[in-house]
């Protein structure tokens, strides 16, 4: 992956469901190509194959369980996620919290299937703990800012810089993403200035009147 990464989480927004997910992915791909950045997308589970088979874009699962093949009804199994076309997964999003033990199991399962891992965290301490488990990325998000339109890079920039410093001390190979409230070019610029290598975002783009235009604004200052 390139040095700058943007991941668009479609959550369960209707705008990003079914063919809507494909349209979002196409917008991401077009903007990524023109801006020279890496933009990935995290659709709902049933849309992973739909998106991956129609659009040349990195696709991430919104969750992954640390289970192997066998009797695990209702679990998100790493190999099936990869076979559907995903190249990576989110783990421990604030809307899908896991225990530290489960996070470790999910990372192990994902790595076993060759999937890139993005572990979401909500403060400096959990970021440090997550970094010790050697994911590819940690994404620092304050839950109270998610969907608020108030970017963490402005509201509490010290949480981002503190997380970056903590990760460097524990495992410099782990990269840091910034999330929560990110939607404008100035937010993206601030996140990179604070030491992150990209952003994880959702509603600011997915629910925008013109998602492609919103993405273009997001990358306009980098």
Catalytic residue positions, numbered? 93, 141
Calpha distance 160→138 (Å, rounded) = 11
Angle at 214 between CA 209 and CA 218, to 5 degrees: 160
Calpha distance 203→200 (Å, rounded) = 11
Angle at 168 between CA 165 and CA 169, to 5 degrees: 90
Rounded CA Rg of the chain: 16
Assess contact for 139 and 175: CB atoms under 8 A. Answer: no
Give the pairing of strands 175-179 and 137-140: parallel
Q: 3-state DSSP call for residue 46?
A: helix
> Is residue 9 within a helix (H) or strand (E), and if so which, with residue range?
strand 5-9
Calpha distance 101→106 (Å, rounded) = 9
Neighbours of 88 (CB within 10 A): 26
Tokens of residue 142, six digits: 């304050």
Calpha distance 2→58 (Å, rounded) = 12
Assess contact for 97 and 63: CB atoms under 8 A. Answer: no
């Amino acid at each position: 992956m390139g040095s700058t990464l943007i991941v668009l989480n479609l959550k369960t927004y209707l705008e990003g469901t079914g063919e809507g997910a494909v349209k979002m992915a196409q917008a991401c791909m077009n903007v990524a190509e023109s801006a020279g950045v890496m933009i990935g997308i995290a659709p709902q589970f049933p849309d992973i194959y739909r998106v991956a088979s129609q659009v040349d874009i990195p696709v991430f699962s919104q969750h992954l369980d640390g289970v192997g093949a066998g009797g695990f009804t209702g679990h998100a199994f790493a190999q099936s996620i990869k076979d559907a076309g995903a190249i990576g997964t989110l783990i421990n999003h604030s809307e899908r919290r896991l225990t530290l033990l489960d996070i470790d199991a999910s990372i192990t399962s994902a790595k076993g299937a060759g999937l890139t891992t993005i572990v979401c965290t909500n403060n400096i301490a959990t970021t440090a703990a997550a970094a010790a488990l050697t994911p590819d990325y940690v994404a620092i998000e304050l839950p109270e800012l998610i969907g608020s339109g108030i970017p963490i890079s402005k509201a509490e920039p010290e949480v981002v810089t503190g997380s970056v410093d903590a990760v460097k001390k524990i495992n410099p190979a782990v990269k840091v993403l910034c999330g929560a409230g990110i939607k404008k070019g100035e937010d993206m610029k601030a996140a990179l200035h604070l030491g992150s290598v990209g952003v994880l975002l959702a509603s600011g783009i997915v629910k925008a009147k013109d998602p492609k235009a919103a993405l273009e604004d997001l990358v306009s200052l980098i």
